[in-house]
């Protein structure tokens, strides 16, 4: 009898686990949509993996009543958690169906130019990456000449620099990030996700103090008005490089009720005090209608980074600059 009860319990457990996996697909092609944003309407959320799959159940997310599913080029889907099914369909936005990107490959004589990345090893002057936040840095054409971004250079801090030589280095990790490109509004802010390709990449503890991301294959030609490159963390990955479908925040009980704190991921992102003025934009992906804002005290009046003058992320780049004969 105990054996049969164990088998039945295992069977029920497998069914429940299977029901936890939800896939988001294109309404027309029925193909999974990679790295869809899943907002819970309460400042928290998660991402689907490269196949459009994310994990959700009322056991895992007890206090979540609504889900908002979104991805670039698609209409947002809002639904009650009680009506969620194992397959969700997103419809393409009508205005994107007729959009054509003229993205001619720049050819001819060119020179390699660089925007120097800015790094440091002070743990206390770093941005702590969470899936709820995104950081954007603007790039302009070099001397107003046709310019292609060849490589992004991302300052990172692995934390082992804060340890003594007699102690072990920080434990192993594998974290997936995504770079996304945004158009520039007339007032100089990131205005909307451009139709330029995005790219996911993985940083591990083997990286140095600068992660070099080759994006030459994306053929990002900087428009006349400039372009923003943003980075956001998607979560930890398996050794095979697959995004782990896990909760992106922690919960704990206090006298004020259940508190939710976003999980922070490694590596850390060093902010610099070597750039004059505030030029880095940030946004909360699951809050404030995803609006971009300058990283200043209006974004976070208690920010230790701002108080110490570390107002910007020193993302660098290598360009191919094309000149006329």
Contacts of 238 (CB under 8 A, 6+ apart): 174, 244
**In tens digits, what is the pLDDT along the chain, a chain of 325 residues?**
445 434 444 444 444 444 589 999 999 999 999 999 999 987 899 999 999 999 999 888 988 999 999 998 899 999 999 889 999 999 998 765 444 455 567 777 889 999 999 999 999 999 999 999 999 999 999 999 999 999 999 999 987 654 544 455 557 899 999 999 999 999 999 998 777 889 999 999 999 999 999 999 999 999 999 999 999 999 999 999 999 998 998 877 776 666 778 899 999 999 999 999 999 999 998 876 789 999 999 988 999 999 999 999 999 999 999 987 6
Rounded CA separation 324/194 (Å): 28
SS3 139: strand
DSSP per-residue codes, 118-135: -----GGGEE---TTEEE
> Tokens representing 218?
């994306």
């Amino acid at each position: 009898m105990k054996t049969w009860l164990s088998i039945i319990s295992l069977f029920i457990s497998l069914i429940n686990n299977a029901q936890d996996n939800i896939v988001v697909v294109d309404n027309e092609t029925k193909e999974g949509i990679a790295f869809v944003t899943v907002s819970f309407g309460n400042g928290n959320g998660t991402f689907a993996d490269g196949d459009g799959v994310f994990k959700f159940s009322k056991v895992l997310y007890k206090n979540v009543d609504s889900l908002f599913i979104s991805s670039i080029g698609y209409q947002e889907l809002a639904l009650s958690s009680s009506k969620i099914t194992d397959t969700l369909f997103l419809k393409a936005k009508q205005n994107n169906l007729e959009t054509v990107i003229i993205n001619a490959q720049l050819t001819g004589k060119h020179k390699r130019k660089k925007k120097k990345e800015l790094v440091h090893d002070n743990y206390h002057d770093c941005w702590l990456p969470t899936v709820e936040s995104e950081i954007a840095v603007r790039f302009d054409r070099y001397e107003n000449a046709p310019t292609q971004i060849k490589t992004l250079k991302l300052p990172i801090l692995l934390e082992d620099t804060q340890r003594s030589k007699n102690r072990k280095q920080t434990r192993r990790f594998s974290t997936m990030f995504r770079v996304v490109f945004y158009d520039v509004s007339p007032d100089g802010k990131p205005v909307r996700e451009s139709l330029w390709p995005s790219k996911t990449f993985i940083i591990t503890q083997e990286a140095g103090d600068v992660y070099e991301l080759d994006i030459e294959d994306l053929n990002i030609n900087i428009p006349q008005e400039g372009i923003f490159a943003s980075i956001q963390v998607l979560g930890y990955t398996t050794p095979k490089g697959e995004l782990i479908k896990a909760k992106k925040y922690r919960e704990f009980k206090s006298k004020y009720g259940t508190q939710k704190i976003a999980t922070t991921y490694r590596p850390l992102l060093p902010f610099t005090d070597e750039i004059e003025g505030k030029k880095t934009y940030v946004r909360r992906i699951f809050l404030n209608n995803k609006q971009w804002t300058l990283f200043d005290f209006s974004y976070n009046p208690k920010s230790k980074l701002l108080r110490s003058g570390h107002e910007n992320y020193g993302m660098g780049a290598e360009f191919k600059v094309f000149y006329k004969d």
